[in-house]
Amino acid sequence: MRFIVILAAAIGLVAGCGGGGGGSSFKPGDGEVSPTGIWEGRITFDAGESQEVVGLIAETREAMFIADDGLLIWGTATSDGNALDVSYEWALPPGFVTPAGAFGGTGEITGTFVERVSIDGSFVSRSSEGEIFTGTVATGYNDLYEDGSSLAVVTGVWLDTETGTEVLSIDATGAVFSQDEATGCVLNGTILPIDTEFNAYDVSLILQGCADPDLAPFNGTRFDGLGAVGDDLQPKDTLLFGAHGEILGVPIAIRAEYRKM
């Protein structure tokens, strides 16, 4: 399964190296505005690279952005009027490093937002090797965020859209199960609504049961993130989430997309 492929790629990263946000609710009231939502647009580096990005800022102030190349950003969002600040950590997908050899780092997005319309800002990222990356983020609001969330929506069997073979089962309590027969590796955890009024889910997964000697050291590794449900062939038939973890000191970023079977 793709999760195991990601971990297999991580083995090489670990061999070559050394040793979520939260807070009070964003719920607006008394005329306050909120930057919560599903956001789609572009991230552009001052060095010239530009790519599509999708983001989610939940009512819990948790924020996550996923770029097309698998770059994952996660952190905490704060706002003052229409001013927005996101302090974040970031990680590249397995198999990728920065020119100086970093797997991830920290950063900050500052800018402005128009509630349920747009976010425009600039960012400064610092890698774990001291590199500085700067650029801009420009996104528009996707009203799928207002579709709401529920356990009933995510309950069922989901098929990985990339591999076409990996299956993720979610029961009526939000408990997750997926197993790779070749390695014995099992993903357990939960995918739960954050606020049933909005389309945002808390994702918490733990890897267990790996019998392969190369993967056994990763047993007990936890991955946390955010997800949302979208419409593709049918309403609410697609589950997209990003999750982050740390394997032997190396930050690992995961992007997953499933279609309901």
Q: Please state the domain extents for the chain.
A: 2-14+146-260, 20-144
Q: Are 135 and 160 in contact (CB under 8 A)?
A: no
61 phi/psi in degrees, rounded to 5: 80, 0
* Model pLDDT for residues 128-156, shown as the tens digit of each residue: 999 999 999 999 999 999 999 999 999 99
Q: What is the pLDDT of residue 21?
A: 39
User: Mean pLDDT across the stretch 160-174?
Assistant: 92
Q: What is the pLDDT of residue 27?
A: 59
**CATH classification of 2-14+146-260, choosing from 1.20.1070, 1.10.3470, 3.30.70, 2.40.128?**
2.40.128
User: Mean pLDDT across the stretch 53-76?
Assistant: 95
Tell whether the torsion through CA atoms of 122, 81, 76 and 64 is positive or negative.
negative
Mean per-residue pLDDT of the chain: 89
Distance CA(232)–CA(260), nearest Å, equals 10
Query: How many C-beta atoms lie closer than 10 Å to residue 61's C-beta?
Result: 22
Q: What is the pLDDT of residue 213?
A: 85
Residue 221 CB partners (closer than 8 Å, separation 6+): 206, 207, 245, 246, 247
Select from 53, 64, 20, 59 the least CA-distant residue to 36: 59
User: What CATH number labels 20-144?
Assistant: 2.40.128
The secondary element (H helix, E strand) that includes residue 43 is strand 37-45
In this chain, the answer to whether the domains covering 2-14+146-260 and 20-144 adopt an identical fold is yes
* Model pLDDT for residues 87-122, shown as the tens digit of each residue: 999 999 878 899 999 999 999 999 999 999 999 999
Q: Which has the minimum average pLDDT: 42-56, 119-133, 137-151, 207-221?
A: 207-221
